[in-house]
Structure 1
Amino acid sequence: MTPPEPHGATVPEPDLRHHGDTEVGAGLADFAVNVRAGTPPPWLAALLRDAVADVAAYPDPAAARLAVARRHGRADGEVLLTAGAAEAFVLLARVLEPQHAVVVHPQFTEPEAALRAAGHRVERVVLGKDFVLDPADVPDAADLVMIGNPTNPTSVLHPASAVAALARPGRTVVVDEAFMDCVPGEPESLAGRLPAGVVVLRSLTKTWGLAGLRAGYVLGPAALVARLAEAQPLWAVSTPALVAIEACSAPAAVAEADAWAAGMGAERDRLAAELTARGLYVVPEARASFLCLRVPDALGIRALLRQRGIAVRRGDTFPGLGPDWLRVAVRDRAANGALLAALADLGI
């Protein structure tokens, strides 16, 4: 099927505060939230239970910060632990003073929402065909650029060279790598290389199933990390979250995540092929734990799927998409089979 252009008729201003968790309801199979099913794993859940015994003391981030630094080959002064990546977006919006902020869309909407809440004007750069990044699309005058990699909701993995090409003197480039651990070996990550002016955000939410715990971190120049730390509330990251960050940064945990990513990727590719064979446009070369697809009357299809007990993520709240787009999380073969069967019932 010929891939459609993402640009089309004028659509209402998207709701930047709409997220996948609002799609889920009692009795619905969850294809709306991009958190790995069956998590946290038992070994991690046990560590979290044990951590409760230490919550009378104020949290000490030193061990977790060192573990993150070692995991990415950074100095510990280049690491700031945060209450999920969402807190990092807010801190950056409060600390930075961009004159020309650009958010590359479609992507996770919290970066733009945080910038606007802090009073910054934002220019949207919407990627073209197949949502592939061309660094030339970003205006030369931009002094702050925010981009996801792999990008939510498109599942596109941009080459590290293309993202690094956005960096230049006087510009800060913020790369949301919340889904990078969906990519075996993380070959396109900038976390371990950090070109000048590049800041990388990571999250434990998705792969380890810790959305309710709020655990993430910033990797960036030490001077900027220090400014962000000054703006961060005291003890912002809880003791259980620190335990999780330390444990999930260990080599054994990284290897476990890598093995999961390989298995998930194979099932994702199978699901994408099944949907494509039915004549749907699936954004090609998906590399994260979800697929982005274009379906005529997607909002209507979403409503009919809910009647059949399945929740999927609407796409019209992402700038650059519209009412004919859905995002679908990749689950195991049996769950994905149920989704395919429900779509078949709808003539898809």
Structure 2
Amino acid sequence: MRTDTVAPTTTPRSATRTASTARGRGAGTFPQAETLGTQVNPEAPTIEDVDLSHHGDAEVGDGLRDFAVNVRTATPPAWLAERIRASIADLAAYPDPEPARRAVGRRHGRSPDEVLLTAGAAEAFVLLARVLRPRRAVVVHPQFTEPEAALRAAGHEVERVLLNKDFTFDPAAVPSDADLVVIGNPTNPTSVLHPAAAIAALARPGRTVIVDEAFMDCVPGEPESLAGRLPSGFVVVRSLTKTWGLAGLRAGYLLTAPDLVSRLAAAQPLWAVSTPALVAVEACSAPEAVAEADAWAAAMGAERDRLAAALTSRGLYVVPAPRASFLCLRVPDALGIRALLRQRGFAVRRGDTFPGLGPDWLRIAVRDREADDELLEALRDLGI
């Protein structure tokens, strides 16, 4: 595999960049690991330029089996859908966020004044980008592109640190003077779960660390979550979209110090989170709901590992030790394979719109055994 590298220069940071990209060899089996390197990437175009606005829902079309969007299928469950339907009777009143804030606080062992409810995790990223004033903002990639897109839209320069071998995280790769760091855990699209200690090691006086934990409830017991620990200077962003199937409802929250919660709330529109979304947040934070999500995560994890093993047995590189509800794999001419799968009725997520990946990467959502086997059969028909 060829690796293209632009060496660091001695020009000011606004014009400095190093980059490393993994390119496919066109056919055959890929090696199991390689170093992707570190990239400092300002506004100037580089070989890593990607469409940060591309998301999995753009891959889905009429008649396509959806392996592109990481939302749990057959959701929301009946009990949650009924709670949401019942909330419609209260729409004449303005939304009251306090019961949901208290429920989220209890769920994570935090005070309610450390909780800000948001219209999905996406609103949290926009609020943070508009309120914070970083001198040097760094986003750890590959990861969900919305945090970087929000920072750029708010006028901030953004630098990228690309994860190394097997997309594991070394906190030493982050510049010591970065005063804003964004990282996902587990990371979308790689499905890698980073040790909480490694992320906590990013703590510095005057630094804000944003941890996107949108997929943390895919991990039974959430052992690496920082939501309950919340080191000084940290912001943990959570979402109800993935596990509970509420993308259309827009329900999420963040956890951070009360003073930052107050600043973010002041920038948030009044009544930004609707009554049905507040009801969902409160319901999904209850102990019985957390237990249900944990049981789903365990069952999904077993199917994910089976699917990963099947793909690996065919000589494909699947990012090791996946822990979220999707797999990231490298396959020769992934964009071509994606197009052929669409012809056969399957939508998968292209990887080239994630900084640090490229045209030989795909992300595949984990479904049930029957659906996953149908995808495997379609790949077999393509010689994979």
- Regarding TM over 0.5, the answer is yes
Deviation per residue, 1:255-306 (Å, 9 max, x gap): 0000000000000000000000000000000000000000000000000000
The answer to whether the 8 Å contact 2:48/2:356 transfers is no
Give yes or no for the alignment of 1:71 onto 2:103.
Answer: no
* 3-state DSSP of counterpart to 1:173: strand
Report if the CA contact (8 A) 2:196-2:225 is conserved.
yes
Q: Report the residue type matching 2:309 in the other structure.
A: A
* Letter aligned with residue 185 of structure 1: G
Q: CA deviation at 1:176?
A: 0.3
Report the alpha carbon displacement of residue 114 of structure 1 after superposing the two structures with TM.
0.2
Indicate the residue corresponding to 1:251 in structure 2.
Answer: 287
Deviation at 1:196, TM superposition (A): 0.6
Instruction: State whether structure 2 residue 143 is matched by structure 1 residue 107.
Output: yes
Q: Does the Cα contact within 8 Å between 1:293 and 1:327 map onto a contact in 2?
A: yes
Residue pair 1:85, 1:178 contacting (<8 A) in 2 also: yes
Percent identity (aligned) = 80
TM, length-normalised to structure 2:
0.89
Distance 2:78 2:144 in 1: 29
Equivalent residue in structure 1 for 2:348, among 281, 292, 312: 312
Deviation at 1:249, TM superposition (A): 0.0
The alignment's C-alpha RMSD in Å is: 1.0
Matched residues in 2 for 1:7 and 1:44: separation? 42
In structure 1, the residue matched to 2:337 is 301
Report the count of equivalent residues: 347
Q: Deviations over 1:26-62 (max 9, x none)?
A: 1000000000000000000001111111111110000
Hey, what does 2:59 align to over in structure 1? Answer: 23
Name 1:135's counterpart in structure 2.
Answer: 171
Q: Which digits, 9 at most, give the CA deviation of each residue in 1:47-104, with x for residues without a partner?
A: 1111111111110000000000000000000000000000000000000000000000
Task: Report the alpha carbon displacement of residue 147 of structure 1 after superposing the two structures with TM.
Answer: 0.2
CA distance in 2, matches of 1:168, 1:286: 29
**Structure 1 unaligned regions, length at least 5:** none
Match of 1:186 in 2: 222
Instruction: Give the match for residue 219 of structure 1.
Output: 255
Instruction: Describe the superposition over 1:304-338 as per-residue Cα deviations: whole angstroms up to 9, x where unpaired.
Output: 00000000000000000000000000000000000
Given the alignment of the two structures, is residue 158 of structure 1 paired with residue 187 of structure 2, yes or no?
A: no
Q: Separation in 2 of the partners of 1:261 and 1:84?
A: 21
SS in 1 for 2:364: strand
- For residue 146 of structure 1, what is the amino acid of its counterpart? V
1:3, CA displacement in angstroms?
A: 1.8
Q: Distance in 2 between matches of 1:294 and 1:222?
A: 42
Aligned equivalents of 1:328 and 1:104: distance in 2?
21
SS in 1 for 2:323: coil
Deviation at 1:13, TM superposition (A): 1.3
Q: For structure 2, which runs of at least 5 residues remain unmatched after alignment?
A: 1-29, 38-45
Indicate if the aligned counterparts of 1:6 and 1:321 stay in contact, CA closer than 8 A.
no
Q: How does 1:36-55 map to 2 (within 5 A)?
A: 36-55=72-91
> Is 2:382 the partner of 1:346?
yes
1:177 aligns with 2:177: no
> What's the CA shift for 1:11?
4.1
Aligned 1:192-203 pairs, distance under 5 A: 192-203=228-239
Residue among 42, 50, 70 paired with 1:34: 70
Give TM-score, length-normalised by structure 1.
Answer: 0.98
